[in-house]
Chains A and B, each alone.
Chain A
Amino acid sequence: MLRYTLKRLLSLAISLIVASLLIFSIIEVAPGDVASFMMGMNAQPDTVAALRAELGLDQTKVARYFSWIGGMVTGDFGTSYTYRAPVAQMVADRLWVSLPLAVYALLLSILIAFPAGIFAAARRGRAADVTVMGATQLGVAIPGFWFAMMLVLLFAIRLRWFPAGGFPGWDESIWLSLKALTLPAIALSLPQAAILTRVMRSSLLDMLGEDFMRTARAKGLSARQALWRHGIRNALIPVLTIIGMQFAVLLTGAIIIEQVFYLPGLGRLIFQAITQRDLIVVESVVMLLVFTVIMLNFVIDLAYAAIDPRLRLRT
């Protein structure tokens, strides 16, 4: 198990280095000079040059890469070109919205998908299964922003249970903040829950056909006992993979939902930074997201090993 963990850690480090190089070079080759963009179309060449020097853009690429990475490691993400504010603070503020939102949405989708998937698998081919599968088709097909607006119309405007948008801040009120994130989390979780339900169901159905399920029945377990004791743990392995991918999507792909609910999240931050050529923000946020996703995959790898003893020996 220790060997397995170390191996995974090594691959994590390599992934991070490769990702940082990739992000840095993509941003480097992207067209548009920050300094001239900031100074406007009619700026004098020497003022632009002065700004470039101030921003550190006149250094070599290698030097800039290392100062960027070095800053990241020590928590100094640099200063936003446009806002003239520390990137670390900007990102941290947004992360406190996006991260809880992603976790909230993921929990919701797991809470929906696990029971629904198990329920459908246990009643394969019957009306209940067909109904659940039909619902998941809808869940995948409905556009998230439309569903979000419907949620606002119903729960915010008509029933007035939840706010229609905005975010009060965790310092203000944890309860109100949670309430503010509820509708966005539901809107985000709908397609994810639908996908996860399908994965859970098909993974369980695969397990039901396994020889060891028949062995379990021959021991005297009822169909339900066999499913719970032998099916679910084995079925979780592919489900975990999907959960890992979904978390990444939820964290980074919430931009439309953030827009609908006026949430100050990471998605909006990246969007604004890109339109304003605020490369240092883009670089840092993307790197941070990559870091989170890679860390998450590391955790998922460890979870695999916890579920499946065969992996613990593998190198």
Chain B
Amino acid sequence: MSLLQISDLSLTIGGHAILKNVSLSVGPGEIVGIIGESGSGKSMTAFTVMQLLPRGAQATGRVALGDTDMLTADEDTLCHLRGNQVGMVFQEPMTALNPVKSIGDQVAETVMIHDRSSRADALRVAREVLERVGLPEARFPLTRYPHELSGGQRQRVVIAMAIAQRPALLIADEPTTALDVTTQAQILELLRGLVDDYGMGLLFITHDLAVISGLASRIVVMRHGEVVEQGPTSQVLAEMRHPYTRMLFEASSHRVTLPPHPDTRTPLLEVKGVSRDYPLPRRKLFAPQEHFRAVRDVSFTLERGDRIGLVGESGCGKSTLTRAILGLEEVQEGEILLDGAPVWSGHAPNLDVRRKIQVVFQDPYGSFNPRWRVGPLVAEPLHLLEVPPTGSALEARIGAVLDSVGLSAADATKYIHEFSGGQRQRIAIARALITRPELVVFDEAVSALDVSVRAQILDLMADLAAREGLSYLFISHDLSVVQTITDRVMVMQAGRIVEEGPTETVLMAPQHPYTRTLIDAAPRLPNARAS
């Protein structure tokens, strides 16, 4: 007897087909993983189960939760089932909680809504559930507000809300995508423990094959709103009957071949004893100003032709260090030289240096002005040059740089919304390359991309390294990507670089305990098929 039985589910939103004949089931105590790339319909499947669909959605088929068909149930029944029989955990813990209510009230609300119990009783239950998800009273009293918690802690609160009524089914929609690897490992452990303790069914949605392969007993592979393959995890991963499954697997473990490092050893970027402080809010009115040291005494040298990775978890100081290297912020101690010249001279950024360094950011959607055409967007960094090209020279340069990232010169007249996420990231790379920089900083540049697109961008980077001898600093939290795209890696923790060395050496034989923690926490694909 299945807990959740989805049969022949089709969904249209505003006339567009979103899901086509989806069938899957989850039994009690079973973990079923749905995997797919963006637009595959995996989240919409979850929202159909919850019946929290956008307006204009039309579903056909059957979604049976126990004895109830969710598609035909009335709103009162659905409200009774949500939170009581089926709980849901979302991707973005930073925004999933109401910022103006305490965590105790928010967890207790689930109980009060369903049991009509008194506030005191509900708060007592909330206390127990928060203990269960790893938020002990001593450090996390019920009166805490969401903004006082980290992302992982907030996700624990969301999980507490979802399981407070001990629902038979828990749906988790990319619950660890926004979290660090070590936090991700803890949350996955928590979810697994809850399934064991409560005998819940868990429908786990993710884009990360490595996460799901270690967690789920069955896998459902989705693409363009359809289930292309499903079965027991070991069987799906061993056989990979559908080409799309194989493609996902290969893209997830995609390896590129970096060209050999050039023999000349000239330092390009020198970071010497850099520290960066931020003022903290004063606790008392006349207390002396205190500072938080986000980057502590960091030194390294990036030589011409180097491809260096910088890894660490959120809050470790890697973004702060990046901003300092780009000359966006002044450092309190030490100095940063590019090609022998300081990136920050006096109290102003050094423009001569700025033009030699460019950056590609994480978000391919937010980092472009939507009202500009691609040509001007790509050409914008040219104002850094002493004599910017104009007229046909400018057009030729835009065309050439678009060409080098795998787009065409004709794309220069289009707007950014006409491009997919992967194409946008190519445009971002084109924008970084147009000044012919000595150094490019990739700041989590492939983290927001689907695995298949990520593989293409990594290929492009390796290709650029081969053709143009590109030197780059690659900042990421994803060790598997860093492993293939860099020659050397630095591991950063609490503002310090705790380990540094050739990528293979560091990842295969880590010396520092923190590096070992990171590597152990990173989900891995089984090697069965890879051989």
Which A residues are within 8 Å of any B CB, using their own CB? Answer: 3, 6, 210-212, 214-222, 225, 229-230, 233-234, 307-310, 313-315
Contact = CB atoms under 8 A, between A and B. Distances in A.
Given A309-B145, A313-B281, A217 B82 contact: yes
Nearest to B284: A3
Contacts of A3: 282, 284-285
Contacts of A314: 281
Given A211-B92, A309-B147, A315-B282, A220 B97 contact: no
A314 B82 CA distance: 36
Interface in B62-90: 75, 79-84, 87-88, 90
Interface in B34-85: 50, 52, 75, 79-84
B83 A215 contact: no
B195 interface: no
Given A219-B113, A220-B83, A313-B281, A234 B98 contact: yes
A234 B99 contact: yes
Contact of B162 (A211, A212, A217, A218): A218
Contacts of A212: 95-99
B110 interface: yes
A216 B281 contact: no
Contacts of A215: 88, 90, 96-98, 158, 161
Contacts of B282: 3, 315
Contacts of A219: 82-83, 87, 109-110, 113, 161-162
Given A220-B79, A220-B84, A313-B281, A230 B101 contact: yes
B242 interface: no
Contact of A218 (B83, B92, B101, B114): B83
Nearest to A314: B281
A291 to B, nearest CB: 25
A250 to B, nearest CB: 28
Contacts of B162: 218-219
Given A215-B158, A218-B162, 9 more contacts: A3-B285, A211-B90, A214-B90, A214-B96, A215-B90, A219-B161, A308-B99, A309-B100, A309-B145
B52 A217 contact: yes
18 contacts: A6-B285, A210-B95, A211-B90, A211-B92, A212-B96, A212-B97, A214-B52, A214-B96, A218-B52, A219-B82, A219-B87, A219-B110, A219-B161, A220-B84, A230-B98, A233-B101, A309-B102, A314-B281
Contact of A310 (B79, B81, B99, B158): B99
B475 to A, nearest CB: 27
B145 A218 contact: no
Contacts of A315: 281-282
A222 B52 CA distance: 11
Contacts of A222: 75, 79
Contacts of A220: 79-84, 110, 113-114
B286 to A, nearest CB: 11
Interface of B: 50, 52, 75, 79-84, 87-88, 90, 92, 95-102, 109-110, 113-114, 145, 147, 158, 161-162, 281-282, 284-285
Nearest to A229: B109
A234 B100 contact: yes
A221 B285 CA distance: 43
Contact of B100 (A211, A221, A233): A233
Q: Is the interface of A mostly helix, strand, loop or mixed?
A: helix
Interface centre among A217, A219, A307, A315 (most CB of B within 10 A): A219
Nearest to B101: A230
Nearest 6 CB-CB pairings of A with B: A220-B83, A211-B95, A218-B88, A219-B83, A220-B82, A212-B98
Contacts of A310: 99, 145, 147
A188 B92 CA distance: 45
B285 to A, nearest CB: 6
A218 B171 CA distance: 10
A119 B375 CA distance: 46
Contacts of A211: 90, 92, 95-96
Contacts of A6: 285
A47 B6 CA distance: 99
Contacts of B114: 220
B141 to A, nearest CB: 14
Contacts of B80: 220
A3 B287 CA distance: 12
Contacts of A313: 147, 281
Contacts of A225: 113
A315 B282 CA distance: 8
A309 B146 CA distance: 9
B320 to A, nearest CB: 21
A233 B105 CA distance: 14
Contacts of B92: 211
Nearest to B50: A218
B169 to A, nearest CB: 12
A210 B50 CA distance: 17
A149 B162 CA distance: 58
A207 to B, nearest CB: 10
A210 B96 CA distance: 8
B115 to A, nearest CB: 11
Contacts of A309: 99-100, 102, 145, 147
Contacts of B101: 230, 233
Nearest to B81: A220
A174 to B, nearest CB: 39
A229 B100 CA distance: 11
A211 B96 CA distance: 5
Contacts of A307: 100
Contacts of A216: 98, 109
A292 B147 CA distance: 34
Contacts of B75: 222
A229 B109 CA distance: 10
A2 to B, nearest CB: 9
A300 B95 CA distance: 25
A249 B293 CA distance: 47
Nearest to B55: A125
B140 to A, nearest CB: 15
A105 B4 CA distance: 56
A210 B52 CA distance: 14
Nearest to A10: B285
B236 to A, nearest CB: 29
Contacts of A229: 109
In the complex, which of the residues A220, A308, A313 has the most CB atoms of chain B within 10 Å of its own CB atom?
A: A220
A265 to B, nearest CB: 38
